[in-house]
Structure 1
Amino acid sequence: MLYPNTIEQKLGFDKLRDWLRGACISPLGQYYVEKIRFSDNFGMVEKLVSQTAEMQKILSTGENFPSQNYIDATPYLKRAQIEGMLLTQTEFFDLKVSLLTIRMCLRFFESQEPEAFPLLGEYAKTIRVEKAVTDSIDRMIDERGQIRDSASPELSRIRKKLISEQAGIRKKLDTILRSAKSSGWVGDDVSLTVRNGRMVIPVAAEHKRKLRGFIHDESATGQTVFIEPTDVFESNNEIRELEYEERREINRILMELTSYLRPFVPDLQKAYMFLGLMDFLRAKARLAAEMNAISPAFYNRQFIDWRQARHPLLHLSFQKQGKKVVPLNIALDEKQRILIVSGPNAGGKSVSLKTVGLIQYMFQCGLLVPVAEDTSMGFFQNIFIDIGDEQSLDNDLSTYSSHLTNMRHFLTLANKRTLFLIDEFGTGTEPGLGGAIAEAILENLTRSGAYGVINTHYTNLKVLADKTEGLVNGAMRFDGEHLEPLYQLEIGRPGSSFAFEIASKIGLPNAVIDRAKEKLGTQQVSFEKLLKELDIERRVFAEKNIEAGIKERKLAQQLASYTLLKEKLETNEKRIVNEAKLKAKNLISDANQLIENTIREIKENKAEKEKTRTARTGLENFGKQNLKLEEVAAPVAEEEVFEPEVGDITPGSYVRITGQTAVGEVLSIKGKDAEIRIGELKSNVKLNRLEKVSNKTYRVATGEKKVKTAARGIDLNERMLNFSFNLDMRGKRGEEALGLVDQFMDNAIMLGYDELRIVHGKGDGILRTLVRNHLRTYPQVAGMTDEHPDRGGAGVTIVKLK
């Protein structure tokens, strides 16, 4: 159900209907445009939208789908059904080209997979255009819309004879014309022409008596007459008679062709309805392309969950101007069914309201809608709107009376399947009374379970929405600094009307504005002021969040770079150590081999001095070549601390091997052997080779220092997460405030912030002076300024850090 009956005009759907009507090629498509209706049948809406989406897919993929000759031939078919009637050549030509378009559409769907276009493909299967019909018409009508010579033997004979007679008469006339030119009766540039279907010669009026013949006509000036010479009079009569015969034969052929067509008329009428639907769907798909519209997910339940929704008419208008529409994000569900939108005038409330109504209405009319891909559409059986001034002189209705009349319908008919839209709720009467009545109506609508969007300036409705389940506040965002609307809907908080600020910007005297504030009362002024300050605070924190996000990304990049570098260094270290170990292993192996060879050579030569000396020299040269060390500055050795320990060696004792400096710990003793651990190395050593040492010797040898009480660490990550650049110290006393400032500054300096915000309030300025004097003692402070007047002014100090 729709209310009122002018809903299309109020939402602007009539303009979309006009657009579609102009986009259709034929009256058949326009007939479908006129039949567009809002549907409260879920299955029907789903079918209509899916058909449009399939056509949009056909056109967007650039398939070979016909785009011309969508001709409405249904009036011809109605006449053809009447016995004894015949269709003209022109009408048969229209049938020929339009039936060709229908067959091309059908062939297109036949060539596609069934799942590609399920709805249109299935519909196309029900359409029949007999090839015999199109072949019969094609045999009779040529590509110029004329009856072919081969349509009948008699017509062929007549036309051949007609051509022969016309050639003969032209030959005679050419002879007479040349003679007249030589006699000076006609000009040299004159040629044969036709008057009343007969070939004649244009002759100057003063010479008309010199050429025997019949005068058929004269020029507008009377200076030229058109004469049919007597020599060709009979030939012209013959030609006229042949033309009558040709016309009679053509009529006979057309009558015969019409009679042949008559049994197929029902199927052809259905085919033309299919052609009209294709024209209509092409228009809807073209509109969708103009609006970047889609077919979103559709569910048989009541809700709104739209992303990037754009007002269709604004989108079409702005597109021509090269501008973009500010999109709308809106969500209504069972817990938040009714949205109360507030904000300044000219801030976009009415546009948002009409966007909701028009998009839902056009979708349930089978059109695609301009929303984002992740949008979901709900289904409503009723749409009620109260938009605009319905004042009527005929019905003696005032503006407010008309609004109350609409509210009576809403309260009577609204249910869980209803979407209602109310613009400027409660206006038109005394504000106090209007606000009270509007609040009572809203409570009743809430109990009905209906979904809706309401625009209002009434504070009591904003408060009601904040404390009533099923209602939610929304605000049209406004740039309080520049006093300009942003046309963005923000759900979850009420909006300020910015009435005083806009009045000040327009140039209303300050005295008048101040007086208005006094008359309004402190409670309302404070409420509007709080809404404004909350909006400013939200913008400030949004900017800071962006900055924090940028810093966090930079930190993540640096951490990733550090981790990569660390892994690379560790990999290189392992590679170098492995190479050194391998080289040492090879060196030891070569040395052992050389020593064994040297010993064997000495034995074989029975220790001859000369041979022994040569072998030892070779061994020394190997050592010099392979064991030569780089000359480096020797580090200054620390004083060795060795304190022997008296007593038996037991498991847990600290020991060192006699003659060495390495110190280890005894793990176990088995007989005369002890298992000791030196660093990560475990080894079995005879007890008589070990010396017991003191604990101090062990700690020095292993690099351990005297254990101190561990200081409590600082978790920078935790501090960074919990730190806020905004310190609110309103209501604090001097000592307490300075303590908070010190703690705040310490954290900020540690975390590297470059700008801080301290809220101390205005008052008498005592706390402000105290805080700023204290901040000047910090060398890290580069400067201090007041916040922007719209964001707190002298009640907030902005601290710049070096």
Structure 2
Amino acid sequence: MIYPDNFETKTGFAEIRTMLRDLCLSPLGQTEADGMCFSSDIEAVNELHAQTNELRLLLEANPDFPLNNIFDARESVSRARIANTHLEESEFFDLRRSLDTVHKIVGLLHPDDPAQMAGRALFRLSDGIAVFPGLVQRIDQVIDKYGHMRDTASPELLRLRRELARAEGSVSRILHGILRAAQTEGLVEKDVAPAVRDGRLVIPIAPGLKRRINGIVHDESATGHTVFVEPTEVVEANNHIRELENEERQEVIRILTALTQHVRPNVAEILDSLHFLGIIDFIQAKVRLGKRLRAVSPVVKASPCIDWIEARHPLLELQLTARGNKIIPLGITLTDEKRILVISGPNAGGKSVCLKTVALLQYMLQCGLPIPVSERSSCGLFNDLMLDIGDEQSLENDLSTYSSHLLNMKHMMRQATDRTLILIDEFGTGTEPQIGGAIAESVLDKFCSKGVWGVITTHYQNLKHFADTHAEVANGAMLYDRHEMRALFQLAIGRPGSSFAIEIARKIGLPEDVIAEASEIVGSDYIQSDKYLQDIVRDKRYWEGKRQSIHQREKELEKTIARYEEEIQDLRQQRRAIVAKAKADAEELLRESNRRIENVIREIREQQAEKEATKRIREELRSFKQTVKEEQTVAHKAHGLMSDDDFEKKLAQIQQRKQRKEKRKQEKAAQQAAVTPRLSTEKMAVGDTVRIRGLKSTGTIEAIDGDMCTVIFGDMRSKMRLNRLETAVPSSPNANPIETAYQVSRATRDTIDDHKKNFRQDLDVRGMRGDEALTAVQHFIDDAILVGISRVRILHGKGNGILRTLIRQYLSTVPNVVHYADEHVQFGGAGITIVDF
């Protein structure tokens, strides 16, 4: 029950309904908005809110949700019930698009797996809604995508339209010929074009010249300066066109009548589907309204309850936002223990706004609309909402303001129950304050005895005292800054508020003697009690500010702690990543060192080095492995078993050990450099002593031809590129014996000549195992370097690419190899590797 009849106007809900209608996409949705009403059925109210929430989520997940084509075809569909009637092309076009939208929406709400949507509000709403894909397909055969009848709707229509097009073309040609002749004779202006009057093609001409053209005058311009003449030559042709147009229209009517017969048996189901479409339109309007008002659709409890956090009056918020201001949210609580809230405070302090906020939001809630409160709010259901606000004077009924208030009180006391929410503004005003306050207190006591829920605003002290002495009634105050003399628009529940009448009178400039005399009239007790109230409000506001400040600092402290914990976690993850990377780098270094040392050992073996040298190199390898293991152990301990100081000390020890080994390595390299021929950076010329890069045997340049040269190594001549050579200072007669040991002996020269005669540029390792193939490639590359070949080919086949990978890994470690790649696709492609030196 809603009281009085103008409840929506007084609370501002009429404006909310108008906003909702404007957000609807069609008259179908607007009809639903007009029919929206207050409900006290808990299941119905929760179903409405569930529908809104579900559609909001669907629209967020599906931006292409089909809401573009919603049309009100109810009138035309209802007319289809009458026999021998037909819908027009535009009506069929609108009906087709609306039915297609229904089909798409029902398809989304009824997926292939019904379990996905079972139990949901929109699933229940769409359950049983009929769709008409066959009718849509039949309409598509007749009406095109622009809403016009297709030429192919029937063979007769196609014939008539073709004949009509030919006739119109013939008339147009004849008329243009007559017009050109008239222009040539000067009867018609050059820029004049044929016109249409009453569906017939005519020529515009000046009135004085109309007799110069044989024909029928059909019309005259508004100014009288032009007449429209149909030449005699085209009269019959135009008559024929009119006949064809009539025949075409009769055929169109016949087709539309036949198509309407497909609609007639399904009128009730189609109207039901259009009603469903209107509900969907209405729900999407509620979703859009909720976004505009920053509102939520909460779950509503069956029992009466109001526990709203950050409640806002939607209309006031829109007005303030438009002016660049912000609304101050309210915290409003009504419970079983405190069912009635008596709000006091200064004028223009927000008491009436608070009251209207409760009235409007509760009404919106029980109409199924989202309300602007925090999601943490709790909402209950009331059977009745009763409002007494504003001036209800009536000359017709001979009612004064106070009489109208008493009449409302009488109705409320008679009809109110323990599930009624009463909303009374300025309770008891309109008559002599003492008796008005007494009557108001008596009425309030009656409300308490009936268990009524309510929000009441007042200035009367006796009502404030009543709230303090009755358990089910709570005092509330609209806060006011006494120092700045301005309203704060904040509701504080638990203490009464002062009207600040003396302070406000002093602020607006009333004489002090008037204020003093008024204070004497009311007496010192009233003044003191009002000051006590002001002090209480001031202290409450001070401690509330302290509490909020402490709460804010606690939140900042929690954020700081959380940030530190997150940074610590990040540091731990970074340490793990660094340790893992160090371990991976160490393993890669170990593998690389193994490859290099094995190459050195192979070279020593091939050069028949002493066992002591081999033993020394292997000892260095073991030492390197031990260092890597120690680093891994340190990394493992740093991960969780060592302190930071121990970790730093261990790292320092390993660094020192590395530095010592690096120093020894540099000293060893210096010793080797002492016995190695000194390199020269001068440009090579005939007669220079040179050696092949990577080898120690020296020779003499005999001739140079561009970037090629002939070099004599002992008794052997070899042709090669200059960039494969490097100059070396020849050994002096008094050179150290170690230096002369690098000269080429007679046996070595014979070996080189023998290799050069028998060397082949292709090596086939297909079918070999990996180690076997790698050994063959190593010897093959050494021979190629020895005999001075510039390019060789290695045939390893494609297969899984294992041999190819092993061979190329080895080639990347040979200094003399300048390039390697796949052979041209015509000569073997990836199955052959070519090597350049």
Q: TM-score range by the shorter chain?
A: 0.5 to 0.7
Give the one of 384, 389, 392 matched to 1:390.
Answer: 392
SS in 1 for 2:339: strand
Partners in 2 of 1:547 and 1:151 — Cα distance?
77
Q: Equivalent residue for 1:81? A: 81
Equivalent-residue separation in structure 1 for 2:521 and 2:301 (angstroms): 51
2:238 and 2:564 mapped to 1: Cα distance? Answer: 106
Residue 292 of structure 1 pairs with residue 301 of structure 2? no
| Higher deviation after alignment, 68-77 or 318-327 | 318-327
**Secondary structure, aligned partner of 1:184:** coil
Q: What is the CA distance between 1:103 and its match in structure 2?
A: 2.3
1:490 aligns with 2:488: no
Q: Matches of 1:116 and 1:574 in 2, distance apart?
A: 57
Structure 1's 559 and 360: CA in aligned 2 closer, same or farther, altered over 3 A? closer
CA distance in 2, matches of 1:100, 1:125: 17
1:165–1:239: 8 Å Cα contact kept in structure 2?
yes
Q: Equivalents in 2 of 1:232, 1:530: separation in Å? A: 103
Determine the C-alpha separation between the residues in 2 that align with 1:558 and 1:236: 90
Structure 2 CA distance for partners of 1:554 and 1:244, relative to 1, 3 Å = closer
Please state how far the C-alpha of 1:341 moved relative to its aligned partner.
Answer: 0.7
Letter in 1 for 2:414: T
Give 2:252's aligned residue. Answer: 250
Contact 2:422 2:454 in 1 (8 A): yes
- Alignment correspondent of 1:101: 101
Aligned to 1:24: 24
Alpha-carbon shift at residue 577 of structure 1 (Å) = 14
Aligned AA (1:372):
S
Q: Is structure 2 residue 516 aligned with structure 1 residue 514? A: yes
Do the aligned partners of residues 61 and 328 (structure 1) sit closer, same or farther apart at CA in structure 2, a change above 3 Å counting? Answer: farther
The residue identity in structure 2 corresponding to 1:24 is C
What SS is found at the alignment partner of 1:232? helix
**Aligned partner of 1:291: which letter?**
L
CA distance in structure 1 between the partners assigned to 2:519 and 2:193 by the alignment: 95
Query: Residue type of the partner of 1:47?
Result: E
- In structure 2, what residue type is equivalent to 1:345? N
Residues 1:221 and 2:217 are matched in the alignment: no
Structure-1 separation of matches of 2:505 and 2:316 = 28
Match of 1:318 in 2: 320
- The worse-fitting range, judged by mean Cα deviation, of 258-267 and 198-207 is 198-207
SS at match of 2:370: coil
Which letter does structure 2 place at the counterpart of 1:277?
I
Look up the SS of the partner of 2:211 in the other structure: coil
Q: Is the 1:93–1:145 contact (alpha carbons within 8 Å) kept by the matching residues of 2?
A: yes
* Counterparts in 2 of 1:208 and 1:466: CA distance versus 1, 3 Å: same
Counterpart of 1:411, as a letter, is M
Q: Is the 8 A contact 1:29 1:276 kept in 2?
A: yes
User: Could you say what secondary structure the match of 1:285 adopts?
Assistant: helix
- Report what 2:14 is aligned to: 14
The structural deviation recorded for 1:98 is 2.2
Give the distance between the partners of 1:557 and 1:273, measured in 2 at CA. Answer: 52
Q: Contact 1:155–1:250 at 8 Å: present in 2 too? A: yes
Measure the CA separation in 2 of the matches of 1:457 and 1:415. Answer: 26
Partner of 2:408: 406
Q: Are the counterparts in 2 of residues 59 and 285 from structure 1 also a CA contact under 8 Å? A: no
Aligned to 1:619: none
d(CA) in 2 for partners of 1:454 and 1:552? 36
8 Å contact kept, 1:299–1:377: yes
Residue deviations 1:252-304 (CA, integer Å, cap 9, x gap):
11111112221121111111101111121122221111101101232111111
Q: Which moved more, 1:310-319 or 1:499-508?
A: 310-319
| Contact 1:296/1:374 (<8 A) preserved | no
Q: Structure 1 residues 339 and 65, CA, compared in 2 at 3 Å: closer, same or farther?
A: same
Aligned residue in 1 for 2:704 = none
Deviations along 1:388-409, one digit per CA (max 9) or x if unpaired, are: 1112111111111111111112
Amino acid of the structure 1 residue aligned with 2:131: V
Where do residues 145-544 of structure 1 align in structure 2 (5 Å cutoff)?
Answer: 145-544=147-546
Deviation at 1:30, TM superposition (A): 1.8
Q: Is the 8 A contact 1:74 1:269 kept in 2?
A: yes
Instruction: Tell me, in whole angstroms, the C-alpha distance in 2 between the residues paired with 1:301 and 1:450.
Output: 13
Partner deviation per Cα, 1:726-760 (whole Å, 9 max, x = no partner): xxxxxxxxxxxxxxxxxxxxxxxxxxxxxxxxxxx
Is the Cα contact below 8 Å between 1:347 and 1:477 reproduced in 2? Answer: yes
**8 A contact 1:475–1:490 mirrored in 2:** yes
**SS class of match (1:244):** helix
Q: CA distance change for structure 1 residues 156 and 36 in 2, over 3 Å: closer, same or farther?
A: same
Larger deviation: 118-127 or 13-22?
A: 118-127
When the two chains are superposed, the root-mean-square deviation of aligned CA atoms in Å is: 3.0
TM-superposed CA distance for 1:480, in Å, is: 0.9
Task: State the one-letter code of the partner of 1:432.
Answer: Q
Shift of 1:369: 0.7
Number of residue pairs the alignment of both structures matches: 576
Q: Contact conserved, 2:40 with 2:383, CA < 8 A, in 1?
A: yes
Over 3 Å counting, the alpha-carbon distance change for 1:238 and 1:500 in structure 2 is same
Moved over 4 A (4+): 111-117, 542-565, 571-580
Q: Give 1:418 shift.
A: 1.1
Distance 2:544 2:29 in 1: 51
> What residue number does 2:132 align with?
130
Residue 440 of structure 1 aligns to a residue whose secondary structure is helix
CA distance in 1, matches of 2:106, 2:402: 57
* CA distance in structure 1 between the aligned counterparts of 2:229 and 2:121, rounded to whole angstroms: 67
TM-score (norm 1): 0.68
Residue 91 of structure 1: how far off its partner (Å): 1.6
* Cα distance in 1 for residues equivalent to 2:644 and 2:366: 70
Gaps (5+ residues) in structure 2? 569-640, 654-837
More displaced 10-residue stretch of structure 1: 442-451 or 49-58: 49-58
- 1:470 CA drift (Å): 0.5
1:55 is matched with which residue?
A: 55
Which has the larger displacement, 478-487 or 25-34? 25-34
* 1:324 CA displacement: 2.0
Q: Who is 1:43 aligned against?
A: 43
The CA deviation at 1:144 is 2.3
Question: Aligned to 1:424, what secondary structure does the other structure show?
Answer: coil
Is this contact kept in 2: 1:474–1:495, CA < 8 A? yes
2:724 equivalent in structure 1: none
Give yes or no for contact 1:56–1:288 (8 Å, CA) kept in 2.
no
1:90, 1:456 → 2: CA distance?
A: 61
Q: CA deviation at 1:111?
A: 4.3
Ranges in structure 1 where 5+ consecutive residues have no aligned partner: 566-570, 584-802
Deviation by residue 1:768-789 (Cα, 9 ceiling, x = unmatched): xxxxxxxxxxxxxxxxxxxxxx
Instruction: Write the letter of the residue equivalent to 1:14.
Output: A
Kindly provide the amino acid, as one letter, of the partner of residue 220 in structure 1. A
How far residue 542 of structure 1 moved from its aligned partner, in angstroms, is 4.2
Which secondary structure does the structure 2 equivalent of 1:237 belong to? helix
Alpha-carbon distance between aligned partners in 2 of 1:381 and 1:511, rounded to the nearest angstrom? 53
* Corresponding residue for residue 34 of structure 1: 34
Letter in 2 for 1:389: D
Q: How does 1:748-759 map to 2 (within 5 A)?
A: none
CA–CA separation in structure 1 for the residues paired with 2:488 and 2:209: 86
Matched residue SS, 1:209: helix
Q: Could you give the per-residue CA deviations for residues 149-175 of structure 1, whole angstroms, max 9, x where no partner exists?
A: 111111111111111111122222222
Using the alignment, how far apart are the partners of 2:647 and 2:27 within structure 1? 88
Q: Secondary structure at the match of 2:76?
A: helix
Per mean C-alpha deviation after superposition, the further-off stretch among 268-277 and 215-224 is 215-224
In structure 1, distance between residues paired with 2:168 and 2:464: 92
Q: Note the C-alpha offset of 1:116.
A: 5.3
Q: Could you tell me the percent identity over the aligned residues?
A: 46
Cα distance, 1:282–1:546 mapped onto 2, change above 3 Å: closer
User: Could you report, residue by residue, the CA deviation over 1:566-588 in whole angstroms, capped at 9, with x for unpaired residues?
Assistant: xxxxx9999679999xx9xxxxx
CA contact (8 A) 1:114 1:121 kept: no
For the Cα contact (< 8 Å) 1:297–1:375, is it kept in 2?
A: no
